[in-house]
Amino acid sequence: MSETVIDVKGMSCPLPVLRANRALRGLAAGDRLRVLATDRAAVADFQAFCRETGHALLAWSEEAGVFSFVIRKKAD
């Protein structure tokens, strides 16, 4: 299991989710994706994205205006 990090700071909805979706397509089932974002709407966006796609939102946090989301890719 590996973890990939993408930096989408400064991008607004829906770009963070679209970039994460693209990155997840290239990962193996069970791999983790960490997304770094600054858009406050990303919190609700990633919760809805994971609920709708079946990927697991393992954790999210915010520090100094930067949100970090950890997503585990669902089994294919």
Tokens of 1: 């299991």
Q: What angle do CA 8, 14, 20 make, to 5 degrees?
A: 50
Q: Which residues contact 51 (CB under 8 A, 6 or more apart)?
A: none
**Active-site annotation holder among 4, 6, 11, 13:** 13
Is 13 among the residues known to form the active site? yes
Instruction: Please identify every residue annotated as catalytic.
Output: 13
